[in-house]
Chain A
Amino acid sequence: MRRVSSGGPEIERLIQLLAKLPGLGPRSARRAALHLIKNRDAVMTPLAQALKTAAEQIRVCGVCGNLDTHDPCAICTDISRDAKTLCVVEEVADLWALERAAMFNGRYHVLGGTLSALDGIGPDDLNIPKLVARVREAGVAEVVLATNATVDGQTTAHYLAGALAAAGVAVTRLAHGVPVGGELDYLDDGTLAAAFRGRKAL
């Protein structure tokens, strides 16, 4: 028989949910729960409100895969951005990292992962068909492949270069100032900016 915490089922449920967050184990989830309860007015109630609003209003952009309260998202509808250049990233976190570095003024396409037969993820499980259609229909001139410098990111980039070959666009890859195995999300802004400036044609 497993003993639950002595705080009753409500607290136990809170702890169990917190423990599902990335980077939080059971022990840190208990600490987080205690912190929330102790700081009810300053943290817990505003957090609950923010979670509720986010859950109700944030959606996936039907064009690029970004997260925003609007669909299409603010980037896709920003007319000051260059609609002829598309940057392909694996995840929304990578899009955010590139936006933080403020290097890129085109639009994005979020794949939602990388090709991996080992994990059962094929081209149709990623936003690849949508990317090819978007490039054909939206008058895109350059596609920058900014998949991570991991082996699966590299294979995905090769695949995309092949899939886009017939679409008549320039396909470039971020320069390898990016340490191999490096994930965009973890790179500093300077490295990202240099990688962008040095992008190479495939």
Chain B
Amino acid sequence: MSVALSQRHADAAAANLSAPAPRALALTRLTLADFRSYAHLKTTLTTQPVVLTGDNGAGKTNILEAISFLSPGRGLRQAALADVTRRGAAGWAVSATVQGYDGAVDVGTGLIAGDGVAAARRTVRIGGTAIGQQSRLASVAQVTWLTPAMDRLFIETAPSRRRFLDRLTYGFDNAHARRVAAYERVMRQRSKLLRTGVDDPRWLGALEETMAEHAVAIAAARRDAVFRLEGGLGAGTGAFPAALLAVEGWVEAALDRDSALVVEQALRDKLAQARPLDAETGGAAHGVHRSDFAVRHADKDMPAAACSTGEQKALLIAIVLAQARIMAGAVGAVPMLLLDEVVAHLDRRRRRALCAELRALGAQAWLTGTDRALFADLDGWAQFFNVSGGTVAVETNGLTS
């Protein structure tokens, strides 16, 4: 199995030799219905950055969360779908017109309420067609985010770092989202079989074969993403620190020594041996769901977790910006960036550097904050909105159009 980019990305990379300006992935319309504090909201936008200002609790993050649901997963709060529903409503919906990899497309997602017969369920529509697998959202556009909750990313447990790396990887290889979803499903199938004591070695073997195939492809895509990211981070970006990255896991490391086929077979053997143990724990002792994303501060030569809170945040910003730059070059598309409460915690030098970088990228970044004055570097260019009490108003002062 190869590390190949998806075809579209490979084509874009080839076409990039003649370097057309990268396309900013962006929303030109966003509509919310019964989403957290919003009964109904509809805004039209240009592809330029969006600044949302307002008091704490005004509902700024809710808007970013709504956008994050237009990518695979449970959004930037990792919320239970029912918790997103506005109080008193039965379900919620987010829909948008996305300037995606293939031009403008309408994308919608939401929770359809159960009716006593059918359970409540998430729906995803792309271009007016219902899509069974939400992982396909990754083929429309890339959405990357930084939130205050991620300030603890480097000192938390591995799953959140792994999710962060996987999300960055979608941008280089959008089939990665589908593979991760497939891997998680087949792992659940195996756990259920082991837990219920079904002793069918052929069935378990078939599940482990599928699991190993996806595991190797996932590990290869992560390694490729880390390699690319590090290329963009080695030099640092002036204001933001240089970083050393690694993906740590048995499967990823095994790919250093052996071919994909050999690693696949070795993982199948390990899983088969671990059946009795896994039947007890309910998990899987081996696989890419146990990998970790390791980040080191290059200049300080220390692990990110040992750095100050401020430097940890700067490292995260450096990684997200590096991904955007590398995507622009390799894929010809700049991801949407959701930067929740990021600006307020930067000193003036880094604030200016961030704004300059966003401007150079031409990214549709969504920035939130309480203090309008901190966004002065974006005056005359970004779209400014004031958020309060479940409504969003265009702020005429500073709006470009």
Contacts and interface: CB of A to CB of B under 8 A. Distances in A.
B322 to A, nearest CB: 29
Interface in A102-145: 115-118, 122-123
Interface string B366-394: 00000000000000000000000000000
Contacts of A123: 200, 202-203
A28 B133 CA distance: 25
Interface residues of A, number: 18
A163 to B, nearest CB: 6
B80 interface: no
Nearest to A160: B206
B202 A155 contact: no
A152 B132 CA distance: 14
B330 interface: no
A158 B209 contact: yes
A117 B202 contact: no
Interface string B191-219: 01100101010110111011001100000
A156 interface: yes
B355 interface: no
A79 to B, nearest CB: 35
Contacts of A151: 182-183, 185-186, 210, 214
The A interface, classified by DSSP as helix, strand, loop or mixed, is helix
Contacts of B135: 181
B168 to A, nearest CB: 21
Interface string B167-187: 000000001001000110110
B206 A158 contact: yes
B29 interface: no
A115 B186 contact: no
B133 A181 contact: yes
Interface residues of B, number: 27
Contacts of B193: 117
A116 B190 CA distance: 9
Nearest to B194: A117
A159 interface: yes
Contact of B210 (A116, A158, A162, A181): A158
A154 interface: yes
Given A117-B196, A118-B189, A122-B200, A159 B206 contact: yes
A180 interface: yes
Contacts of A155: 186, 189, 206-207, 209-210
B188 interface: yes
B136 interface: yes
Interface string B98-140: 0000000000000000000000000000000000110110000
B264 to A, nearest CB: 12
B198 A180 contact: no
A92 B350 CA distance: 61
Interface of A: 115-118, 122-123, 150-152, 154-156, 158-159, 162-163, 180-181
8 contacts: A117-B190, A118-B192, A122-B198, A150-B182, A155-B210, A158-B209, A162-B202, A180-B178
Given A115-B203, A151-B210, 19 more contacts: A115-B206, A117-B190, A117-B196, A118-B185, A122-B200, A122-B203, A123-B200, A123-B202, A151-B214, A154-B182, A154-B210, A155-B186, A155-B189, A155-B207, A155-B210, A159-B202, A159-B206, A180-B178, A181-B132
